[in-house]
Amino acid sequence: RIKQIQLEQDSGKSLHDELRSQTLIDLNRAGVGLLEVVLEPDMSCGEEAATAVRELQLILQALGTSRANMAEGQLRVDANVSVHHPGEPLGVRTEVKNLNSAKFLAKAIDSEIERQIHELENGREILNETRSFDHKLGCTMPMRDKEGKQDYRFMPEPNLPPLLLYDTASLPPGADPQQVINIDWIQERLPELPSETREKLVQQYGMLPEHSFALLNEVGLLEFFQNVIKETRAEPKKVTSWVLNIFLGFLKQQNLAVNESPVTPSALAELLNLLDRKAISSTAAKQVFEELWCSEGKTPSQIVLEKQLELMQDQEVLEQACHTVMEGHPQVVM
């Protein structure tokens, strides 16, 4: 659940140059809009948190609000972690910062949970402090900054008039549509959100829900999948399987992003067509795929020809081959 949303303006960035004892102030992102989303403490492990963040990322990307790339700092996540016995109130929380990927987010949270449990079981207390995640060590460390309770002395900004949200029912009559915010109007104009996309995939292609999640979770994978579907007569289930198992497998093995793939959707589509009309066996298809991955510019058909991977369809030739094998190994046949 979302507890609160804050719209802010980014300030500058300080870069501390210890060597020359100076601080450099970078104002390039000053004034850029920031959307801070505060989630309720509904999550209980790193994976849940990472999933929630990933979903938020997808939604923001679908809306066009942000590219939400964690590595580039477009999406920054701070985790507030605490532990407690069931039935008791929430424990003292620590804030973990400096997380620049969903993977580290999950790791950091899990390691912090472990640390807190360990501390408490050894009779010590948890300090309400800010910690940063050291991904090399795989654990959280207290941050050096004297983060003692800062009194920001905030006051409500007088230059921002109150933001009133209306829906169609509560909209004042004769209101200028340019000057009011009608959430129903906005709702109608929302683009397709991830949950809707996934639902459509399940309905349209008969895939399992897990598959729809997997397709959306990898950047560019859904598009790749859809492009393959466009160009192939193969069954969607086949395409799904090939994309999620084989294609994605290869990507992960070599730590590549979808847009770095040496195999294009067209190439895979062609391969699947060959498989579909039984021109090659599935074993052969896998071989061809491997070849496609390594060699530039060759089409699946070319590779099949080169490696003579075509399935033999000719009845007579097949019979002849069987006879040859049986004659060559009489002891086995008996």
- The contact set with another protein (CB under 8 A) reads 14, 21-23, 25, 27, 151, 153-155, 157-161, 176, 179
What would the 3-class secondary structure string for the chain be?
CEEEEEEEECCCEEEEECCCCEEEEECCCCCCEEEEEEECCCCCCHHHHHHHHHHHHHHHHHHCCCCCCCCCCCCCEEEEECCCCCCCCCCCCEEEEEECCHHHHHHHHHHHHHHHHHHHHCCCCCCCCEEEEECCCCEEEECCCCCCCCCCCCCCCCCCCCCCEECCCCCCCCCCCCCCEEHHHHHHCCCCCHHHHHHHHHHHHCCCHHHHHHHHHCCCHHHHHHHHHHHCCCCHHHHHHHHHHHHHHHHHHCCCCHHHCCCCHHHHHHHHHHHHCCCCCHHHHHHHHHHHHHCCCCCHHHHHHHHCCCCCCCHHHHHHHHHHHHHHCHHHHC
Name the residue nearer to another protein (CB basis): 27 or 38.
27
Provide, rounded to whole angstroms, the least separation between the CB of residue 211 and another protein.
47
Provide, rounded to whole angstroms, the least separation between the CB of residue 13 and another protein.
12
Distance between CA atoms of residues 200 and 95, nearest Å = 38
Provide, rounded to whole angstroms, the least separation between the CB of residue 179 and another protein.
6
Name the residue nearer to another protein (CB basis): 21 or 259.
21
Name the residue nearer to another protein (CB basis): 20 or 136.
20
Name the residue nearer to another protein (CB basis): 125 or 176.
176
Name the residue nearer to another protein (CB basis): 143 or 263.
143
- Contact, 48 vs 81, CB < 8 A? no
- Please state whether beta strands 77-81 and 165-166 pair in parallel, antiparallel, or not at all (unpaired): unpaired
Provide, rounded to whole angstroms, the least separation between the CB of residue 150 and another protein.
10
Provide, rounded to whole angstroms, the least separation between the CB of residue 25 and another protein.
6
Name the residue nearer to another protein (CB basis): 89 or 152.
152
Distance between CA atoms of residues 72 and 74, nearest Å = 6
Provide, rounded to whole angstroms, the least separation between the CB of residue 174 and another protein.
13
Provide, rounded to whole angstroms, the least separation between the CB of residue 41 and another protein.
24
Distance between CA atoms of residues 295 and 204, nearest Å = 34
Name the residue nearer to another protein (CB basis): 15 or 257.
15
Provide, rounded to whole angstroms, the least separation between the CB of residue 95 and another protein.
19
Name the residue nearer to another protein (CB basis): 21 or 253.
21
